[in-house]
């Protein structure tokens, strides 16, 4: 899910003064999507394997024909990469190995909010040598935000509810988008401002007006997804008060964000009255 900022930040002047990288490798799905949106195709040496999975990758079609890597630090070194885009979490050892061998690594965090995302887009686009593409993507996001402003009547409450009962923090990209549309975040009423697991009985006792889930939440594949079809939850928040958007739009902040905003706004217009 849903799913900002950079651990390694370059100032505007410094980023523009550096040579444009010619052999860029991505080790992370969200980095893949930013790289595809902001780089020249011939700058891309390889992408992570997840980019080809259409169930989770917004950029699967765009990635066709480009090499994928296995994420091994040694192989990345042998590929001659001059810039690596990595995730900030779970890839620290590989990033440290690459840096120790003189390879530049940008470690990208998940977007915490829209401003954090704008900063990340600007940093990556400048480092790739295409700042204008970053500004164009930010403008697309801002236009989508303008279309979605204050759609919800009477400040209705909403709970974002993921597999196994997980609720995101109030400071998250999806929470900010919902607040922008006019929703009141129900996790505050549940005492989960920092995120966490919301127990079913707690939601039933104090239900939100609406609930947002992934679009596959009605498919029961394990105990984590069975929660969405529990009769008690159905009674507390009926299907006509549940919103859903495709996971591949919401997993990463980046080029999918305008489409995610528009998809969510369409759901709000259809169901939130």
- Got the DSSP string for 100-166? HTT--EEEEPPPSSHHHHHHHHHHHHHHHT-HHHHHHHHHHHHHHHHHHTT-SGGG-EEEE--GGGE
Q: What percent of the chain has pLDDT over 70?
A: 90
Question: Is 218's pLDDT higher than 80?
Answer: no
Section 55-63 average pLDDT? 97
160 beta partners: 212
Question: Using alpha carbons only, what angle is made at residue 138 by residues 136 and 139, rounded to the nearest 5 degrees?
Answer: 65
Question: Is 4's pLDDT higher than 50?
Answer: no
Find the range with the poorest average confidence among 5-14, 84-93, 137-146.
5-14
Backbone φ and ψ for 132, nearest 5 degrees, come out as -65, -30
Section 27-33 average pLDDT? 98
Crossing angle between the packed helical segments 114-128 and 173-181, to the nearest 10 degrees? 120
Quote the CA–CA distance of 13 and 256 in Å, as a whole number. 28
CATH topology of domain 150-271: Rossmann fold (3.40.50)
Question: Is 122's pLDDT higher than 70?
Answer: yes
Confidence of residue 90 (pLDDT cuts 50, 70, 90): confident
The per-residue pLDDT for 265 is 97
Q: What is the mean pLDDT of the chain?
A: 90
Section 193-201 average pLDDT? 91
Question: Is 30's pLDDT higher than 70?
Answer: yes
Cα–Cα distance list, 65 to 33, 37, 40, 48, 62 (Å): 15, 15, 14, 13, 9
Question: Is 74's pLDDT higher than 80?
Answer: yes
Confidence of residue 9 (pLDDT cuts 50, 70, 90): very low
Quote the CA–CA distance of 173 and 194 in Å, as a whole number. 13
Judge if pTM exceeds 0.95. Answer: no
Question: Is 165's pLDDT higher than 70?
Answer: yes
Question: Is 226's pLDDT higher than 80?
Answer: no
Question: Is 156's pLDDT higher than 60?
Answer: yes
Question: Is 68's pLDDT higher than 50?
Answer: yes
Q: Where are the CATH 3.40.50.1980 domain residues in the chain?
A: 12-145, 150-271
Question: Is 6's pLDDT higher than 60?
Answer: no
Section 125-130 average pLDDT? 98
Q: Domain 12-145 - what CATH class?
A: alpha beta
Confidence of residue 221 (pLDDT cuts 50, 70, 90): low
Section 32-56 average pLDDT? 98
Question: Is 101's pLDDT higher than 80?
Answer: yes
Question: Is 109's pLDDT higher than 50?
Answer: yes
């Amino acid at each position: 899910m849903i799913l900002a900022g950079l651990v390694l930040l370059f100032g505007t002047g410094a980023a523009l003064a550096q040579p444009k990288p010619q052999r860029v490798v991505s080790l992370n799905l969200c980095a893949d999507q930013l790289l595809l949106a902001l780089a020249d195709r011939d700058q891309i040496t390889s992408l992570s394997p997840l980019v080809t999975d259409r169930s989770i990758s917004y950029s699967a079609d765009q990635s066709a024909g480009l090499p994928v890597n296995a994420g091994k630090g040694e192989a990345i070194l042998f590929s001659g990469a001059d810039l690596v885009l990595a995730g900030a979490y779970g890839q620290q050892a590989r990033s440290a190995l690459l840096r120790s061998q003189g390879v530049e690594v940008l470690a990208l965090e998940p977007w915490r909010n829209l401003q954090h995302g704008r900063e990340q887009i600007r940093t990556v686009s400048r480092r790739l040598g295409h700042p204008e593409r970053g500004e164009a993507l930010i403008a697309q996001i801002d236009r989508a935000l303008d279309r979605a402003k204050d759609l919800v009547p009477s400040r209705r409450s909403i709970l974002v509810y993921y597999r196994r009962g997980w609720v995101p923090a109030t400071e998250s990209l999806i929470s900010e988008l919902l607040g922008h549309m006019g929703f009141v975040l129900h996790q505050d009423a549940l005492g989960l401002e920092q995120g966490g697991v919301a127990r079913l009985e707690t939601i039933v006792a104090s239900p939100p007006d609406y609930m947002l889930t992934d679009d596959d939440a009605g498919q029961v594949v394990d105990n984590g997804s069975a929660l969405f079809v529990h009769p008690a939850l159905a009674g507390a928040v009926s299907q006509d008060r549940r919103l859903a958007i495709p996971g591949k739009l919401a997993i990463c902040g980046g080029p999918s964000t305008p489409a995610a905003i528009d998809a969510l706004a369409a759901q709000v217009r259809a169901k939130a009255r």
